[in-house]
Amino acid sequence: MKKRYPRTLSSGANNTVIALTETEVGKLYTGDTRSDIGSEAEKMKFANTVNALIVKFIRLDELNEDAEMLVMERLYPMDFRAYEYEKRELWLEVLEDELRELHKAGFVHRDLRRPSDVVGFKFDNVFLTSTGFRLIDVGISALKTQVGERLFERYVTQELKELEEFRTFVLER
């Protein structure tokens, strides 16, 4: 059984996210995961220099002796179905522009749509907030400088397909 932490917001296959304050959350890493947490932090910091699409990195910290923590801004998701079709179209246009800006800078998210065998909603990593769509969970994201041109372009092509699926999902509901 997975350990339950106080103030849990969500729990995925590898990590639990807990509320720290009204403005911060912590993604917990248990065991020896230094390279994972450091890699995710570096990718998040890189994306944050390009635009505000990716959740904001705040710091690395520890919860206790067995849990390291990636501290991020706390997002409060809203339900896009409460908003008019035209507003959803506008938010999607901004999302596409910001995603393409990240791609141009050498960052690809790689997890807009969850694989069908992964528990959770199809587009769990895309939140609508008061400032528009935002992306969370950059654990499997990639930087062009780390994976090379060919692999990066393959990831971008897949992500753009997922973006079209997300567009359909948002506009047809």
What average pLDDT score do residues 28-33 get? Answer: 80
CATH 1.10.510.10 fits 80-171, yes or no: yes
- Is residue 95 very low, low, confident or very high in pLDDT (cuts 50, 70, 90)? very high
State pLDDT tens for residues 34-67: 668 999 999 999 999 999 999 999 999 999 887 9
Fold of domain 8-73? Phosphorylase Kinase; domain 1 (3.30.200)
Smallest CA-to-CA distance from 142 within 4, 66, 48, 42 is with 42
- Is residue 4 very low, low, confident or very high in pLDDT (cuts 50, 70, 90)? confident
Q: In the chain, where are the structural domains located? A: 8-73, 80-171
Query: What local confidence, expressed as pLDDT, does residue 108 receive?
Result: 98
Whether the pLDDT of residue 83 is over 70: the answer is: yes
Cα–Cα distance for residue pair 53/48, rounded to 1 Å = 8
pTM, two decimals, is 0.92
Query: What local confidence, expressed as pLDDT, does residue 166 receive?
Result: 96
